[in-house]
Amino acid sequence: MNVQADDFFFSGLNIMGNTSNAVGSKVTPVTVAQLPGLNTLGISMVRIDYAPWGINPPHTHPRATEILTVLEGSLQVGFVTSNPENRLISKVLQKGDMFVFPVGLVHFQRNVGHRNAVAIAALSSQNPGVITIANAVFGSNPPIAADLLAKAFQVKTSVVDQLQSKF
Amino acid sequence: MNVQADDFFFSGLNIMGNTSNAVGSKVTPVTVAQLPGLNTLGISMVRIDYAPWGINPPHTHPRATEILTVLEGSLQVGFVTSNPENRLISKVLQKGDMFVFPVGLVHFQRNVGHRNAVAIAALSSQNPGVITIANAVFGSNPPIAADLLAKAFQVKTSVVDQLQSKF
Amino acid sequence: MNVQADDFFFSGLNIMGNTSNAVGSKVTPVTVAQLPGLNTLGISMVRIDYAPWGINPPHTHPRATEILTVLEGSLQVGFVTSNPENRLISKVLQKGDMFVFPVGLVHFQRNVGHRNAVAIAALSSQNPGVITIANAVFGSNPPIAADLLAKAFQVKTSVVDQLQSKF
Amino acid sequence: MNVQADDFFFSGLNIMGNTSNAVGSKVTPVTVAQLPGLNTLGISMVRIDYAPWGINPPHTHPRATEILTVLEGSLQVGFVTSNPENRLISKVLQKGDMFVFPVGLVHFQRNVGHRNAVAIAALSSQNPGVITIANAVFGSNPPIAADLLAKAFQVKTSVVDQLQSKF
Amino acid sequence: MNVQADDFFFSGLNIMGNTSNAVGSKVTPVTVAQLPGLNTLGISMVRIDYAPWGINPPHTHPRATEILTVLEGSLQVGFVTSNPENRLISKVLQKGDMFVFPVGLVHFQRNVGHRNAVAIAALSSQNPGVITIANAVFGSNPPIAADLLAKAFQVKTSVVDQLQSKF
Amino acid sequence: MNVQADDFFFSGLNIMGNTSNAVGSKVTPVTVAQLPGLNTLGISMVRIDYAPWGINPPHTHPRATEILTVLEGSLQVGFVTSNPENRLISKVLQKGDMFVFPVGLVHFQRNVGHRNAVAIAALSSQNPGVITIANAVFGSNPPIAADLLAKAFQVKTSVVDQLQSKF
């Protein structure tokens, strides 16, 4: 009723994200949390910056499919199909290439070039959620029991301890 | 089951569209028609090129909300709310700015600069549809009766004839 | 919990609408705004009255399909398919005939008889919305820039000024 | 793609249904089975004729809400809320009155006048389904075991036998 | 945001329901009313206990499909398809057997053994609703008019009076 | 139309799954692949067996919420909320206790007792999908590049090699 243009507006997707972190990438999300006019409308967008060889680590979106297009650089992208096949569907993308990550599947991107890369992606929910596998599994608060994870990943507890110590 | 990476891949969104036409803009769509892996996934993407002062004329998407981000140039964008208010919600966007066009509403963009502009937009359907108002109303095949349109737009039939002769 | 029969009741759809206006028709809507019990239930109804040769001008419903049945008189009805075909799908209806207008498409009706016509239509949303093309495009508040519309409709700005002056 | 006007057209809703039957009413449905263009569009319509004191017996639509408007005559209408309240929400409707029957609830209409009544109703599915309680419970093929129904309705088996013999 | 484990937890589905009632069965529901964490998530569960020869009488769920599995005992189960077929689809289930009752259809279970039976069922809504046919039709508050029901079930009003007196 | 009772029937959920495997658990699914009558109905069920101290390792369902009830034994269950909190929401369940795992979130169960445990769970899709994190991330075919995973999990490549060698 009393909507204003600013309810449907967001600024700053041209600004390069800070990739000085452990994975060498930065996601700048524009979801209903940043852009209230998206409420109930079933869509959102993100900018992703990648340092050379930086990765957007394996993650899922519990409520959205993602479509990504490369603005700058070269990205290896992939997703893994669900049980029992666990097939890796992967491709190296150049500027102007696009790829789809179906709802809920584990997927990732990696900058496979010596210069920065940039992508724009859209998601089929105004509130898609992000689950970074490493953080959810080895970095939860409180932690998942180390012996449970040791059995899940079929390694010694000391390996799990090492993994959990990073997050 | 037997999906391949190419089912989820599309190439060429970096290629500038040919804007040498009456409206000075070109939409390059990537929907389920171009990218079969989008089937049932509820999302698609488009690139839009604008010559200086070019427009993406008033249109609707019957099955999708749109979120747009400006890659290059300056765009005036707007949508009109439904009856009875018919409020124009409008904004001038610069590089990196985003705007939302809610499902089914009449909206447009115009390049308000002396150089080319480029936008990337995403839509909340793999098959959003496009209805360009001028083409649907004055350029349908066969045409809508001129006297009906004259009454609808409250002008003489000769004005409608003139409008219909363009499409 | 404490619902009453009156929450699901509406009265007056037998009353002829006043068609003394520029288009010679009147829509009497019964949506969730008039009948609160429709909330979340995905349906609504309207009565439409048409003076002789009156029209329900080209419009869309952004969130609903419409199914219409003629109670009295003869109506020419039609909708236009989306780009790139823009095919006009049209029919003359007599009393007891029905027609479907798929979600989001531009459609219209015209009384093609010398006496009043009446139709009942149902829509697949409790809040379907109505966008009258002429009002949204040439009658918004504030107006869409005349030179933008001149380019969209490929006419001189003076023609657009004339169109905008009517709304 | 190759749709024709007739795919969206149905004729004959002005024809009075034959109410010479045990309940004194006749429903003329226009669903996707009669009107193929309704496919996936989420709406349908019916005409209902009622002889004096005729009833549309208690029934449910497993996949649709119904909105009904009275064209001629007077109808008592009602629906029953779900467990544990089982409240009867009821009203007498005159010409031009409307009533809503929420999805899946048991509802009915009765002509409470000495002349024929007619209603038009719309349903929020192209394939709403109809379950007439008496037929489903006492007239299924093969029949539900009489002792089971006797326990359900807390009557002697002979009463169930009597009920089952009617269908 | 501030969710706690107890928001997603419910206790007591191991407790046998009290089947000392007219139908010899007891449903223990776990829907959003009992387990708030189910809100918007589209699923719920119930435990059903049956005394020997007890029944879960004919009923519908207006907003859910049900899938049932037998934990103990033998159950005859069935549902009736919608008009015009009204086919009874029925089966005797043993421990470990499962059956599906599609959304909105009339269905029932009966313990066909000399000892208690137990089933667990899941429903495709956090708020599925239950309409027990006997209670809705013959036990509503206020009652449906006896002569209307007499016509619907094609029996004398005295039979309806008898049926209504039980609820 | 020609459905039979067997289309809605499945047998064998009483049979204990074979838990002689690396994780000490076995999931027996009943989805549309096993029970065709579930098609389009939005629900499925599974039985899960757990050897003493066996686990159902961290996994997600890309298209379903899960509700689980313990039939025998004691289970520690948990899910991790999405970024940025990654909170572990966890509980120890006894016989008759229930827990909800919201759509798409990483979750697990562990038998925390010296005897076998059994659970029944329902999922809000006829085709929920399962992504076992360890298999998808470290056991895909072909494998995800070890150096990418090393960066994602912040460990040496030799640790990733060790993890990948298990699957």
pLDDT of residue E167: 84
> What are the phi and psi torsion angles at B134 (to 5°)?
-60, -45
- The pLDDT value recorded for residue D37 is 95
Measure B16 CA to nearest chain A CA, in Å. Answer: 10
Contact A82 F166 (CB under 8 A): no
Place F1 in a pLDDT band, splitting at 50, 70 and 90.
low
* CB-closest option in B3, B8, B98 to A10: B98
User: Which among E46, E90, E106 is the top mutation candidate for probing chain D, defined by the most D β-carbons within 10 Å of its own β-carbon?
Assistant: E106
At D109, give phi and psi (nearest 5°). Answer: -135, 155
Could you tell me if F8 and F41 are in contact, meaning their C-beta atoms sit under 8 angstroms apart? no
Q: Is the pLDDT of residue F137 over 80?
A: yes
- Residues C71-108 have pLDDT tens digits of 999 999 999 999 999 999 999 999 999 999 999 999 99
CA distance D110 to chain E (A): 7
Q: D 114-143 residues with CB below 8 A of C?
A: 120, 122-124
Question: Best of B148, B158, B166, B167 to disrupt the C interface by mutation (most C CBs within 10 Å)?
Answer: B148
Strand ranges, E, within E21-148:
25-30, 44-50, 55-60, 66-72, 75-80, 88-93, 98-101, 106-111, 117-123, 131-132
**pLDDT above 90 coverage of chain C, percent:** 97
Residues C96, C100, C104, C106, CA torsion sign: negative
Q: List the binding residues of A.
A: 56, 59, 61, 66, 107
Percentage of residues in chain A having pLDDT higher than 70: 99
- Report E:10-39 residues touching F (Cβ under 8 A): 10-15, 30, 35, 37-38
Residue F4 backbone dihedrals phi, psi, to 5 degrees: -120, 160
pLDDT attached to residue C16: 97
Chain centroid to Cα E147, Å, comes to 28
Residues 6+ apart with CB under 8 A from D11: C94, C96, C97, C98
- Chain A residues with CB-CB distance to B122 below 8 A: 43, 45, 67, 122
Q: Are D17 and D46 in contact, with CB atoms under 8 Å apart?
A: no
CA distance A47 to chain B (A): 10
* One-letter amino acid of C62: P
Residue A80 parent element (H or E)? strand A75-80
Classified as helix, coil or strand, F128 is coil
Cβ atoms of residues E132 and E59 within 8 Å: yes
What rounded mean pLDDT belongs to chain C? 97
pLDDT at residue A137 tops 80: yes
Decide if D152 and E23 are in contact by the 8 Å CB cutoff. yes
Q: How confident is the model at residue D66 (pLDDT cuts 50, 70, 90)?
A: very high
Q: Output the pLDDT for position E2.
A: 81
Contact A120, A71 (CB under 8 A): yes
Query: What was the pLDDT predicted at C28?
Result: 98
- D82, D142, D154 member nearest E166 (Cβ): D154
Angle at E51 between CA E48 and CA E53, to 5 degrees: 110
Residue of chain B nearest A3, judged by CA positions: B89
Residue E165: pLDDT band with limits 50, 70, 90: very high
pTM attached to this predicted model: 0.95
Average pLDDT over residues F24-29: 98
The answer to whether E63 touches E125, Cβ cutoff 8 Å, is: yes
> Where does E54-105 show beta strands of DSSP type E?
55-60, 66-72, 75-80, 88-93, 98-101
Q: Would you tell me the crossing angle of helices B146-153 and B157-164 to the nearest 10 degrees?
A: 110
Q: In what order do the strands lie in the sheet with C98-101?
A: C25-30, C44-50, C117-123, C66-72, C98-101, D9-10
> Residues of C annotated in the binding site for oxalate, as ranges?
56, 61, 66
End-to-end CA distance of chain D: 45
Count CB-CB contacts under 10 A for residue B85.
13
Going by DSSP bridges, is the β-strand pair D75-80/D66-72 parallel, antiparallel, or unpaired? unpaired
E30: which chain F residues are within 8 Å (Cβ-Cβ)?
A: 67, 98
Q: Which residues of B are annotated as a binding site?
A: 56, 59, 61, 66, 107
Whether omega for the bond prior to residue E58 falls within 30 degrees of 0, making it cis, is: no
Write out pLDDT tens, residues D14-51: 999 999 999 999 999 999 999 999 999 999 999 999 99
Place of tokens 């030799």: F158
Chains E and D contact (Cβ–Cβ under 8 Å for 3 or more pairs): yes
Shortest distance, CA A43 to any CA of chain B (angstroms): 6
| pLDDT tens per residue across span E82-112 | 999 999 999 999 999 999 999 999 999 999 9
Is E43's CB within 8 Å of F124's CB? Answer: yes
Q: Is B100 helix (H, G, I), strand (E, B) or coil?
A: strand
DSSP three-state, residue E2 = coil
Look up residue D49 and give its DSSP letter: E
Q: Looking at chain F from residue 46 to 65, which residues have their Cβ under 8 Å from any Cβ of chain A?
A: 55, 57-58, 60-63
Dump pLDDT digits (tens) for E5-24.
999 999 999 999 999 999 99
D164 touches chain E (CB under 8 A): no
The response to whether F59 counts as a known ligand-binding position is: yes
Residue E33 has pLDDT above 70, yes or no: yes
Q: Which residue of A has its CA nearest to B43?
A: A124
User: Are D82 and E129 in contact (CB < 8 Å)?
Assistant: yes
User: In chain A, which residues have their Cβ closer than 8 Å to the Cβ of F106?
Assistant: 131, 133, 136-137
The rounded distance, in Å, linking the Cα atoms of C14 and C11 is: 8
Q: What angle do CA A94, A99, A105 make, to 5 degrees?
A: 135
Subunits touching D (CB < 8 Å, at least 3 pairs)? Answer: C, E
pLDDT digit string, tens, across residues A102-124: 999 999 999 999 999 999 999 99
Name the residue of chain A whose CA is nearest to F132's CA.
A83
Chain C closest-CA separation from residue D126 CA (Å): 10
- The alpha carbon of residue E1 is apart from the nearest alpha carbon of chain D, in Å, by 33
Q: Is F8 on the interface with E (CB under 8 A)?
A: yes
